[in-house]
Structure 1
Amino acid sequence: MYTKKIDFDPQAHTGLTIYLNDQLVAMNRKKARPFILVLPGGGYSFCSEKEAEPIALAFVAKGYHAGVLHYHVGAHRNFEHALLDAKRAMTEIKNIDAQFKVASDKIAVVGFSAGGHLAAAMSTLLEDKPSLCILGYPAILTSFAEVMKIEAPSLDTCVTPATPPTFLFSTFEDNVVPIENSLRYLAALEENGVPFESHIFQKGRHGLSLATQWVSTTPEMIDPRFARWFDLSCEWLTLNWYAAKQELEQTQASFPPAPLDIPLISLMKEEKNRRLLLAAFPKFANKSYEKIVRHYTLNQLHQIAPEIFLPAKLANVEKRIQKNM
């Protein structure tokens, strides 16, 4: 394993530590590996070490490249500066020496508590977003930003359809960050059609990290059930980076879909198509109605409600969509 520390602001002790799997180089293999950027928690007062290197090394052991960002905290706490730290970290990762074969299009961020706040901010506020986001018992709302003594918007209000797919894990019994933070963020993801997976465990204190004996300082912080989040998140990374992509590519290669066979949620990502469909079917403007039908194709909707989705109207819609493609 190759490690390197990149200092950002020595006075504030900010910077990026990278952990690279160099077996690829030694074995002359060419396959690029994804990179996992770890953002430890600590309420913007400090960076929790149990949510830093142990997390990065766990992902390295799974075959990923990884890194830990120490951002502006404590006497230097400042949300805007922390977000700039995260932005610079993304740039540094993409500039890693090509010999290490970092897949620059597969950079995921994993943040815990306040680090989850910063990870969610990267996913909603940065132009150069991570491709996937993992949030562990994250602080999201303005009310908690005030507790952390930073000025930041409620990040649930910043979610857009461009927010990357998200994996969120937390506990109902979290004794520091109310579960409302997670639920509000999940609701915002759903509202914007952003894919997500969530595991909200009933039991568990705040700050469990990996929840194993090797990172826990007290018995109550060891929780084998909660510890399952790590393997589940790795499965989710594979699902989003490889399995789903390969399935989609195979389907498209074999049977390029016609507009009427494309789910509405995909069609309506293109603003011209969205306006066209809203004009043809005004009911789509009702958010609740759209949520019901958005995973169907127009052909499927014709089968369900032929009196609404008339063949002549669908043919006209298809012809106009094809002009936009």
Structure 2
Amino acid sequence: MIPGGGYSFCSEREAEPIALSFVAKGYHACVLRYHVGENRDFERSLEDAKQALAEIRKIDAKYKVAQDQIAVIGFSAGGHLAAAMSTLLEEKPNLCILGYPAILSSFAEVMKIKAPSLDTCVTKETPPTFLFSTFEDNVVPIENSLLYLSALEEHDVPFESHIFQKGRHGLSLGTKWFGASPEMIDLRFARWLKLVCEWLELNWEQETQPVNQTVNGPMEKNVLELPLDQLLEDGTNQAILFQEFPKLAEKSYYKILRRFSLNQLQQFSPEIFSTARIAKVHEQMKQSKRVGGKE
């Protein structure tokens, strides 16, 4: 848990109350206290987060902490730091949850830190992300969230998001127990906790799904059955397909087709992905593997 506070202080409403809410759901939880106020320094704060993540992953197995199931959650400026962990660190958390996060360098200036616009730092290595915020946020413009989500989509990073129409900044849990004043109580917004827990379980379940095995190891799919995005991860396959189907190199065209296999494309659009053309690229890909000593 990384509380917000504009790098001026750590908001208590976004610290232990959040952690205890996750503990009540059956999760281990801890709160990061990082450099703020007179000691504010983005690089030092990021180092605090890096060290905390490393220490968590060292916890003895007897305490039942899943080392490969570490999620970070940050709010506002804490969301900025959580997003920085997910984009700038070499060793990243497995999942990232951002609550009304500050993302842009313009807001970093307001917080008196030197940090890049984190949407420009997203890569395909950025962990799956859940982002929640409000359209009416009166402190951090919703633009911060939207640009970050756009960057995740651009790099094909899985994400889920809920932008509530109503609600001011810093709602924390949004419940009457933690609302400092009536305007900080918002029961619609409070649903984010349930949504996040469902999302966590969805992703942990995916990570523990067994891999189909054969005698010689993981089962390999026929390349004609692989989705294009997986097929194009191989540079040789990419060159072969782009030469035969140049429009696949166009981003907007590729995004429409990337979840389909060559066999599916042949069925849906035989005038473009004809049997002959599919057979041609398939043979070229097999030939390239033989030449490369992979078959």
**What is the TM-score with the length of structure 1 in the denominator?**
0.83
Q: Corresponding residue for 1:18?
A: none
Counting only pairs closer than 5 Å after superposition, residues 12-161 of structure 1 correspond to structure 2 as 38-161=1-124
Q: Give the C-alpha shift of residue 246 in structure 1.
A: 5.2
Q: Relative to 1, partners in 2 of residues 1:251 and 1:212: Cα closer, same or farther, differing over 3 Å?
A: farther
Structure 1 unmatched ranges of 5 or more: 1-37
CA distance in 2, matches of 1:102, 1:317: 47
Q: Corresponding residue for 2:196?
A: 233
Instruction: Work out whether 1:212 is the aligned partner of 2:175.
Output: yes
Instruction: After superposition, give the CA deviation of every residue in 1:97-148 in whole Å (9 maximum; x if it has no partner).
Output: 2210211111100010000001111111100011110000000001101110
Q: Give the C-alpha shift of residue 272 in structure 1.
A: 4.7
Amino acid aligned to 2:264: Q
Question: 2:241·2:281 contact (CA, 8 Å) conserved in 1?
Answer: no
Q: Give the C-alpha shift of residue 318 in structure 1.
A: 4.6
Instruction: After superposition, give the CA deviation of every residue in 1:120-177 in whole Å (9 maximum; x if it has no partner).
Output: 1111110001111000000000110111011111000011111111100000000000
Instruction: Work out whether 1:282 is the aligned partner of 2:249.
Output: no
Q: Corresponding residue for 2:279?
A: 312
SS in 2 for 1:103: coil
Structure 2 unmatched ranges of 5 or more: none
Question: 1:259·1:321 contact (CA, 8 Å) conserved in 2?
Answer: no
Q: Give the C-alpha shift of residue 270 in structure 1.
A: 4.3
CA distance in 1, matches of 2:43, 2:70: 21
Q: Corresponding residue for 1:301?
A: 265
Q: Give the C-alpha shift of residue 303 in structure 1.
A: 1.4
Deviates more, 1:146-155 or 1:302-311: 302-311
Question: 1:280·1:317 contact (CA, 8 Å) conserved in 2?
Answer: no
Find 1:266's aligned residue among 213, 216, 230: 230
Q: Corresponding residue for 1:291?
A: 255
Question: 1:129·1:164 contact (CA, 8 Å) conserved in 2?
Answer: yes
CA distance in 2, matches of 1:272, 1:205: 51
CA distance in 2, matches of 1:239, 1:317: 39
Amino acid aligned to 1:307: E
Amino acid aligned to 1:292: I
SS in 2 for 1:204: coil
SS in 1 for 2:188: coil
Question: 2:175·2:186 contact (CA, 8 Å) conserved in 1?
Answer: yes
Amino acid aligned to 1:290: Y
Q: Relative to 1, partners in 2 of residues 1:131 and 1:46: Cα closer, same or farther, differing over 3 Å?
A: same
Q: Corresponding residue for 1:223?
A: 186
Amino acid aligned to 2:186: D
Identity across the alignment (%): 66
Question: 1:189·1:196 contact (CA, 8 Å) conserved in 2?
Answer: yes
CA distance in 1, matches of 2:152, 2:122: 7
Between the two proteins, the alignment pairs up a number of residues equal to 287
Q: Corresponding residue for 1:162?
A: 125
More strand by share: 1
Instruction: Work out whether 1:257 is the aligned partner of 2:221.
Output: yes
CA distance in 1, matches of 2:163, 2:213: 33
CA distance in 1, matches of 2:251, 2:194: 35
SS in 2 for 1:143: helix
Q: Relative to 1, partners in 2 of residues 1:283 and 1:41: Cα closer, same or farther, differing over 3 Å?
A: same
Q: Give the C-alpha shift of residue 249 in structure 1.
A: 3.6
Give the superposed CA RMSD. Answer: 2.2
SS in 1 for 2:282: helix
Q: Give the C-alpha shift of residue 79 in structure 1.
A: 0.6
Deviates more, 1:100-109 or 1:269-278: 269-278
CA distance in 2, matches of 1:117, 1:321: 45
Q: Give the C-alpha shift of residue 321 in structure 1.
A: 7.4
SS in 2 for 1:96: coil
Q: Relative to 1, partners in 2 of residues 1:111 and 1:317: Cα closer, same or farther, differing over 3 Å?
A: farther
Q: Give the C-alpha shift of residue 320 in structure 1.
A: 5.3
Instruction: After superposition, give the CA deviation of every residue in 1:240-280 in whole Å (9 maximum; x if it has no partner).
Output: 110x3456746999975322212122333444544443344
